Structure 1
Amino acid sequence: MGSPRPRRGRSRWLEALACAGALLLLGAGPRSGYETMTPQLRAMQDDDLSNPGMLAVAEGEALFAREGCAGCHTAEAMRGVAARYPALDRASQAPIDLSGRIAQCREKRQQRPPLPREGPAMLALTAFVAHQSRGLPLQPDPRLAEARRQGEALFRERRGQLNLSCAQCHDDNAGRRLAGSLIPEGHPNGYPLYRLEWQALGSLQRRLRNCLVGVRSEPFPPGAPDYVALEAYLVARARGLLVETPAIRP
């Protein structure tokens, strides 16, 4: 495969995002971090030729072919997949996130060693697959009720030396400023995303680890079920927001 077509579906994506933004301004649902960014950053995300996350999408498309994914799946068949994750894994009867599914497919079907979760190859593959769902609303898996309960408990639990919870920032104080930075609602609809603070693409789990470390709490191991439970709750909390991968955030 070649590099992704930069303008593919762009007008449809922008129309959907504009419609969602109008509804959000009317108080009809959760507010994406996109809505709180400067016009310059929104323009950077909207333009596939300016969005640095699209470099990872291009690499992911090449890996999708090179790693053998294209032998079973087409890019078109991936549309809508990311909007439904985390999902219930039939074999283990446990929740699994999109990166976990990609790793599982690589190991079991292709007999290849696992890729590091935050490595460039896994981020690129996940970004490429998730990008196929850009502009579609998040659709929480109805089978993950227990995982969502666990995730909500983690979201509201005070942690670390600062004795803070996710909810205290992203529910109680969203829209206010902390040390000059706007506190977002903390929705997961753009991951993997390009964060200016990182100067790189990163996963939702990386962002959650940052928050845990920020409150001086011990982070969970990479790929831990706690992260997947948190994501399951966050997706339900963000129900109706559109997939923006690869989003840009400050």
Structure 2
Amino acid sequence: MRRLVALALLLSACGGQSGEYAQQSQIPPEAIQSGYTFLQPETQALQDDDFANPGFLWVDKGETLFNQIPETGAPACASCHAADNRPLSGVAAHYPVMDEETGKLMNIEARINACRERHQDLAPLDHESDALLGLTAYVASLARGVPISVNIDGPARNYYEAGKDYFFLRKGQFNLACSQCHNDNWGKKLRGDTISQGHGNAFPAYRMEWQTFGSLHRRLRDCDSGIRAEPLDYGSATYMAVELYLAKRAEGLAMESPGVRR
């Protein structure tokens, strides 16, 4: 019931535009703020403390897996990504990227699974598994503090435009678009929370509502469920496109993963 009340308030706060697409308002570059800005001080302090931040449990697990030789005897991730050979420091700040072999857009999770299949002869890891979340968290943590900067030229442009379309598209039983909350009403109160600008720079992140760690795609699925739209599959081309659009929209913000969110 409380969730339904919150959604009713959200509808009231974000309504007012008509048509299939919401008005395509944008946040001026000088006004872009991380979701961290809208957190309670206690939550900010939890993210800032590397010993208390629960997301580091997944970072530590990912670092172990990264350096571990699989039971099959395949090379460890670290054997290819050493400090002087394909280092991963800062790389996550520039994802998603186009994969030259498949011609598809890949985020960090997809790249990890592609590397497992191509270079380690291992099966892909399940979405939201501790292993995939851990490896993603470890790679993302190597980019903490690095400004987001993604390439949307060439084939990536179509994904970027598709992601933008989805962000502005009204959908679900509540007929809401992402932009109505995160462009038009950020900074306003929704029950006890402050609506953020909807950036993904802290993900994968520990979310209080989940009481666990999760990916950006899980957060997108939650948002779609919240407006009574059908959530898409993890790793879907549409969510990949949205991830690219959000990264470009947040360009210049520092990577924060493992973040802590409400």
> What TM-score do the two structures reach when normalised by structure 2?
0.83
Letter in 1 for 2:141: H
**Identity of counterpart residues, as a percentage?**
45
Q: Distance in 2 between matches of 1:146 and 1:242?
A: 25
Displacement of 1:74 in angstroms is 2.6
Q: Deviations over 1:138-186 (max 9, x none)?
A: 0112332221111000000000111001001111111112233211100
Where in structure 1 are there 5+ consecutive unaligned residues?
1-26
Structure 2 residue 143 is matched with structure 1 residue 136: no
Q: Deviations over 1:86-105 (max 9, x none)?
A: 00100112211110000000
Alpha carbons of structure 1 residues 75 and 245: separation in structure 2 relative to 1, 3 Å:
farther
Q: Distance in 2 between matches of 1:37 and 1:93?
A: 38
2:215 corresponds in structure 1 to 203
Structure 2 residue 188 is matched with structure 1 residue 180: no
Q: Which moved more, 1:91-100 or 1:27-36?
A: 27-36
1:47 corresponds in structure 2 to 49
> What TM-score do the two structures reach when normalised by structure 1?
0.87
User: Of 61, 67, 79, which residue of structure 2 is paired with 1:71?
Assistant: 79
1:191 corresponds in structure 2 to 203
- Is the Cα contact below 8 Å between 1:29 and 1:240 reproduced in 2? no
Q: Distance in 1 between matches of 2:128 and 2:94?
A: 21
Give the ranges of 4+ consecutive aligned residues of structure 1 lying more than 2 Å apart after TM superposition: none
User: Of 113, 125, 133, which residue of structure 1 is paired with 2:135?
Assistant: 125
Tell me the SS of whatever aligns to 1:59: helix
2:5 corresponds in structure 1 to none
Q: Distance in 2 between matches of 1:149 and 1:134?
A: 27
Letter in 1 for 2:220: L
Residues 1-250 of structure 1 aligned to structure 2 (within 5 Å): 28-66=30-68, 67=70, 68-74=76-82, 77-143=87-153, 144-250=156-262
Q: Which moved more, 1:69-78 or 1:209-218?
A: 69-78
Displacement of 1:75 in angstroms is 6.4
Q: Distance in 2 between matches of 1:32 and 1:212?
A: 21
Aligned residue pairs: how many?
A: 224
Q: Deviations over 1:182-215 (max 9, x none)?
A: 1110001011001111111100000000011111
Where in structure 2 are there 5+ consecutive unaligned residues?
1-28, 71-75
- Is the Cα contact below 8 Å between 2:152 and 2:160 reproduced in 1? no
